[in-house]
Amino acid sequence: MQSSLRNLGQLAAALASAKVTSRELVEGCLARIAAADGEGARTFLKVAHKQALAAADFHDAMRAQGATIGRYAGIPVSIKDLFDVVGDVTTAGSVVLRDSAPAAQDAPAVARLRAAGFVIVGRTNMTEFAFSGLGLNPHYGTPRNAWDRATGRIPGGSSSGAAVSITDAMAFGALGTDTGGSCRIPAAMCGIVGFKPTARRVPLTGAYPLSSSLDSIGPLANTVACCAALDAILAGEPGSTLPVATMANLRLAVPTSYVLDAMDADVSAAFQWALSTLGKAGASITEIPLQELDELPDINRKGGFAPAEAYAHHREQMAAAGAQYDQRVYTRILRGREQDAADYIELRRRRLDFIERVTAAIGSYDAVLMPTVPIVAPTLDAFATDESYLRLNGLVLRNSSVVNFLDGCAISIPCQEPGSAPVGLTLFASTNADRKLLAVAAAAEDCLQRNR
Question: Which positions are catalytic?
Answer: 80, 158, 182
How far is residue 388's CA from residue 375's CA, in Å, rounded to a whole number?
Answer: 14
Cβ atoms 166, 190 nearer than 8 A: yes
Cβ atoms 304, 107 nearer than 8 A: no
Q: In what order do the strands lie in the sheet with 284-288?
A: 44-47, 119-124, 76-80, 174-177, 217-221, 193-196, 409-414, 424-429, 367-371, 251-255, 284-288
β-pairing, 424-429 with 409-414?
antiparallel
Q: What's the distance, CA 116 to chain centroid?
A: 20
The candidate with the shortest Cα–Cα distance to 428, out of 452, 400, 392, is: 400
Q: Please state the φ and ψ torsions of residue 403, each to the nearest 5 degrees.
A: -70, -35
The candidate with the shortest Cα–Cα distance to 389, out of 80, 148, 81, 138, is: 138
